[in-house]
Amino acid sequence: MDLKQKEDSRKERIQKLKRGFAYNIFYRQGVTQKTASLNDYYLAVAHTLRDRMQHLFVNSVQALLEKDSKIVCYLSAEFLTGPHLHNNLVNLGLYEEFEQATRETGLNLKELIDLEEEPGLGNGGLGRLAACYLDSLASQQIPAIGYGIRYEYGMFDQEIADGWQKELSDCWLHPGNPWEIKKADMACDVGFGGHTEIYHGEHGNRRTRWIPARVITGVPYDTPIPGYKVNNVNVLRLWSAEAPTSFDFADFNTGDYYGAVKDKIMAETITKVLYPNDEQFQGKKLRLEQQFFFVSCSLQDMIRIHLHSNESLDDLYDDFAAQLNDTHPSVAVPELMRLLMDVHLYEWDKAWEITKKTLCYTNHTLLPEAMEKWQIELFEDLLPRHLEIIYEINNRFLDEVRIKFPGDADRLSRMSIIDESGPRYVRMANLACIGSKAINGVAAMHTDLLRRHTLADWNTMYPGKIRNVTNGVTPRRWIAVSNPRLTKLICDAIGEQWITRLDKLRDLEKLADDTSFRDAWYKVKKENKQDVANLILKKEHLQIDPEAMFDVQVKRIHEYKRQHLNVLHIITLYNRIKANPAIDVPPRLFVFGGKAAPGYFMAKRMIKLITSVAQIINNDPDIHGRIKIFFIPNYNVKIGHIVYPMTDLSEQISQAGMEASGTGNMKFSMNGALTIGTLDGANVEIREEVGAENFFLFGLNVDEVMSLQASGYSPMDYYNSNDELKQVIDLIASGHFSGGDQELFRPLVDSLLHEDKYTLFADYKDYINCQERVGQTYQDRDCWTRMSILNTARMGKFSSDRSIMDYSRKIWDVKAFPVELKWERLPKDGVLFTPPTNNKKEAQP
Ligand code: NBG
């Protein structure tokens, strides 16, 4: 094609887009262009894009049906995808054309992008990781299905009222969700409760059948997940609960209308709302119902797809690798066994072989309070057949342990699926470890701790089964979409390859010493900061100096993450300035963001502490604006898009040995922030990659924390021997930040003085000193910018593309499956469809 032809076909495509908008406004939204609201326009533009994705999706499905390829099934109770429009435009390479088409229609694409409600179907890192992995699976052309729950209400919206967190319901579906397609034909039934029966099968063998007390229907909603500039489109399939029949006619006929509707409402509560607990396990029945519900639907769906082109399930594992994202889906172990034995009539040994070869398990936490364990009575009441299967798995497994470790009763009780140390529980991590072919941790240090401590017995029992796959994040969303200025600068300097080959960022290293590149780099950061300063001024009437260092901690609020250590530093600076107004403290904006679990008392008080300290310091004339503190309400993916690009300093200050990996740490560094952090989670590997000289390290390492705690840690000793620390704590306790109220922060202060489980006091001094080095370095702009460039340049390892390739090789044994475009957009004769003969069972993934 010559240049003119190219331009003509571009013009034609733009025209088609504009027609698509008009068509969707009229036919889909049912309004005229005059009466359409902004949301109508957003939906029309989104649908126009979705239609283009459908073409690729249909091709991806057809390609898979023609030629079998292994499919990765990522089972996760959470997928925190973030808004889709911008990301899909970038991945499909259609941003510019949509930008032009909307402009020519009199619309502003950016405004429409901002309008999109994000699906908050996750708590934090774990759910966001699942979303990054979906992006990388598609971009790496690996066929995959993300299986999860279509919560009607996602993570709550956070408002800050009088300095406290207030939770509001998240009605993300309210404006309409243009990305999902309901696939009513692929619904599955899921049982709960009831009892089991023994019967004799065709050949006289003993079989069990489960007679559930109630049945709920799972209806899938599909969201296409396009890869970056490839034809592959995968799918995120989320299950929604419905009652199998809409009314109980028996009740209805006797006039009990409400009784008849009750069951329907009960059924639908299963997928009503996401549990907003972050790493704090609560043994709630509804949560187990949610888990079983989506796991059963997903396994049934995989089996349906497999049987479409296979006679039996003998080699299910050749077609599917099912990854369990933490223990939330680990009831998949007994459910797959049940489906194989009770429904598909396999004998135990073969069923067990298939199960073990299909499932893989990722552990995401070391916190004991996060480990899922269900009370036996609750489990039995809900899943009687599954408990029988679990007992049988356990009996056989414990025999194996007895043979390998004769006479080791302690080991048996530690490894048993059933916790019998008090009231009896089903331990889901043990179940997942036994029933899967591989177990993996999410960062080198985490995996090492799993091997040495949390899962040490499993490591001894099955050497080599515990593997490491360090987490990663997608550079599409976390650089290309969210930081367009940096993207342009990098592309102009080294080309575009880095977007799918993040290791190519290394080419930036040589530019770190180039003055004009450094200036350009600095300018990008400053403009990103200026945008946010304008926003804060407009929304919060807080004046921010864009030259100030933006020092940021965004993540869930949790004691182990130690947002309060950050506060101790802020108050230290405040005290220093108050004591000596001439002191040289370079201006800093401290930004916090994150949600606290609604029932987590201390975390909520930590938010109140941050906002109260902000209130006093931001308004103290003696400070002359040198320190400002801002708590961003409702931190979510959308706000993340703004936060990572603006940040100079990333706070990764958890107690060593607590953060399994962290992924925010990666997003910050990729966007040129320097990290102040402990040797925890992926910080360790980030520091290795960027170089110790480009990372601000402080604090005890995990072995030191353990030995300190073992030797009887006394926070009071640190308090008594460090004047500055004492002053800070006393100031909080005095009511200085709480209008004289000495009770408000007493629980926080007392827990630090008397327990300090996360050793803030032990790390305080080193943290303050390290922050001083940070401040000095920041004042040397050239040096800081150089370090910033080197951070970005050396982040190649932390692309989720690398993680996905690691999983593919080390665990799933899958290969890329590039899709060719063979199927037309629409049949040429203009006839849309020939009616399918039997569309019910016509399988399509
Ligand atoms: C979280 C860890 C993080 C980690 C993410 C993703 C849970 C249970 N764990 O450190 O706390 O980055 O998982 O692996 O949410």
Regarding the beta carbon of 654 and ligand 1, being less than 6 Å apart is answered: no
Our answer on whether the CB atom of 232 is closer than 6 Å to any ligand 1 atom is: no
- Whether the pLDDT of residue 369 is over 50: the answer is yes
Percent with pLDDT over 70 in the chain: 96
Instruction: Answer left, alpha or beta for residue 603, where phi above 0 means left and psi between -120 and 50 means alpha.
Output: alpha
24 with 78, same domain: the answer is no
**Residue 841 pLDDT exceeds 50:** no
The model carries a pTM of 0.96
Instruction: Let me know whether 152 and 219 are in one domain.
Output: yes
Is 481 domain-assigned?
no
* 604 is a domain residue: yes
Say how far residue 625 (Cα) sits from the centre of its chain.
36
- The answer to whether residues 302 and 380 belong to one domain is yes
Q: Is ligand 1 within 6 A of the CB of residue 681?
A: yes
| Residue 127 CA to ligand 1 centre (angstroms) | 9
Buried/exposed code over 57-83 (b: 16+ C-beta within 10 A; e: otherwise) = bbbbbebbeeeeebbbbbbbbbbbbbb
Give the Cα separation of 117 and 172 in Å (integer). Answer: 6
392 and 346 within one domain: yes
Of all protein residues, the one whose alpha carbon is nearest to atom 9 of ligand 1 is 364
Same domain, 101 and 183: no
Residues 730 and 596 occupy one common structural domain: yes
Angle subtended at Cα 516 by Cα 515 and Cα 518, rounded to the nearest 5 degrees: 65
Range in 255-264, 363-372, 690-699, 795-804 the model is least confident about: 255-264
- What mean pLDDT comes out for the span 173-195? 97
Which of 556, 588, 794, 802 is catalytic? The answer is 556
- Cβ(367) – ligand 1 distance below 6 Å: no
* Integer-rounded Cα radius of gyration of the chain: 28
Local confidence band at 839 (pLDDT 50, 70, 90 cut-offs): very low
Distance CA 689, CA 673 (A): 14
Tokens standing for 218? Answer: 């799972």
What are the backbone angles phi and psi of residue 325, rounded to the nearest 5°? -80, 95
User: Residue 842's pLDDT is what?
Assistant: 45
Instruction: Tell me if 635 is assigned to some domain.
Output: yes
- Indicate if 667 belongs to the active site: yes
Tokens of 417: 């699926």
Length of the chain equals 845
The partner residues of 72 in beta bridges, in order of sequence, read 144, 321
Q: Is residue 525 part of a domain?
A: no
Give residue 202's pLDDT.
Answer: 82
For residue 537, give every residue at least 6 positions away whose Cβ sits within 8 Å of its Cβ, in sequence order, or none.
543, 544
Q: Looking at the structure, do residues 313 and 445 belong to the same domain, yes or no?
A: yes
Tokens 């909307």 sit at which residue? 102
237, 451, 555, 687: which is the annotated catalytic residue? Answer: 555
User: H helices within 405-514, ranges in order?
Assistant: 409-415, 428-434, 444-449, 456-461, 475, 484-494
Active site residue 308: no
Q: Do residues 365 and 447 make contact, with C-beta atoms less than 8 angstroms apart? A: no
Residues 78 and 27 in one domain: no
270-323 pLDDT per residue, tens: 999 999 987 889 889 999 999 999 999 999 999 999 999 999 999 999 999 999
Q: Render 602-666 in DSSP notation, one character per residue.
A: HHHHHHHHHHHHHHHHHT-GGGTTSEEEEEESS--HHHHHHHHHH-SEEEE-PPTTT-S--SHHH
Residues 25 and 136 in one domain: no
Residue 399 counted as domain residue:
yes
- Please report where in the chains the tokens 């800081």 appear, as a residue: 784
**Residue range(s) defining the domain that contains residue 585:** 544-798
Determine the pLDDT at residue 257. 75
Tell me, yes or no, if 364 is annotated catalytic: yes
Residue pLDDT, tens place only, 320-342 = 999 999 999 999 999 999 999 99
> Are the C-beta atoms of residues 430 and 394 closer than 8 Å to each other?
no
Q: What are phi and psi of 417, to 5 degrees?
A: -70, -25
Let me know if residue 549 belongs to a domain.
Answer: yes
Instruction: Tell me: do 702 and 752 sit in the same domain.
Output: yes
Domains of the chain: total:
3
Sheet of 373-375, strands arranged across: 373-375, 425-427, 418-419
Question: What is residue 273's DSSP assignment?
Answer: B
Q: Is 600 helix (H, G, I), strand (E, B) or coil?
A: coil
Q: Are residues 134 and 222 in the same domain?
A: yes
* 482: its two tokens: 């969210």
pLDDT of residue 86: 98
* Mean pLDDT of the 731-745 span: 98
Choosing from 325, 654, 661 the residue with most ligand 1 atoms within 8 A of its CB, the one to mutate for a pocket test is: 661
Looking at residue 326, the DSSP 8-state letter turns out to be: S
**Using an 8 Å Cβ cutoff, are 385 and 335 in contact?**
no
Task: Give tens-digit pLDDT for 557-579.
Answer: 999 999 999 999 999 999 999 99
| Residue 834 pLDDT > 70 | no
Q: Is 357 a catalytic residue?
A: no
Residue 54 has pLDDT above 50, yes or no: yes
The Cα–Cα gap between 333 and 337 comes to: 6
Per-residue pLDDT, averaged over 738-751, amounts to 98
> Residue 28 — very low, low, confident or very high, per pLDDT cuts 50/70/90?
very high
Is 843's pLDDT higher than 50?
no
CB-CB contact of 742 with 732 (8 Å): no
Sign of CA dihedral 43, 49, 55, 61: negative
User: What is the domain-level CATH number for residue 556?
Assistant: 3.40.50.2000
Take atom 12 of ligand 1 and give the residue whose Cα is closest.
Answer: 662
Residues 355/106, Cβ–Cβ less than 8 Å: no
| Overall average pLDDT of the 704-729 stretch | 98
Residue 822 lies inside a defined structural domain of this protein: no
Please check whether residues 79 and 62 belong to one and the same domain. Answer: no
| pLDDT, tens only, 90-122 | 999 999 999 999 999 999 999 999 999 999 999
Ligand 1 atom index nearest CA of 681? 10
Nearest residue by C-alpha to atom 3 in ligand 1: 662
Pairing of strands 649-652, 549-554: parallel
For residue 228, what pLDDT band results from cuts at 50, 70 and 90?
A: very high
Write down the mean pLDDT value for the chain.
95
- How far is Cα 613 from Cα 144, in angstroms, rounded to an integer? 47
Of the listed ranges 269-273, 683-687, 831-835, the least confidently predicted one is 831-835
Q: Whose CA is nearest to atom 2 of ligand 1?
A: 660
Q: Per the domain annotation, does 496 fall within a domain?
A: no
Does residue 143 have its Cβ closer than 6 Å to ligand 1? Answer: no
Return the pLDDT at 264.
80
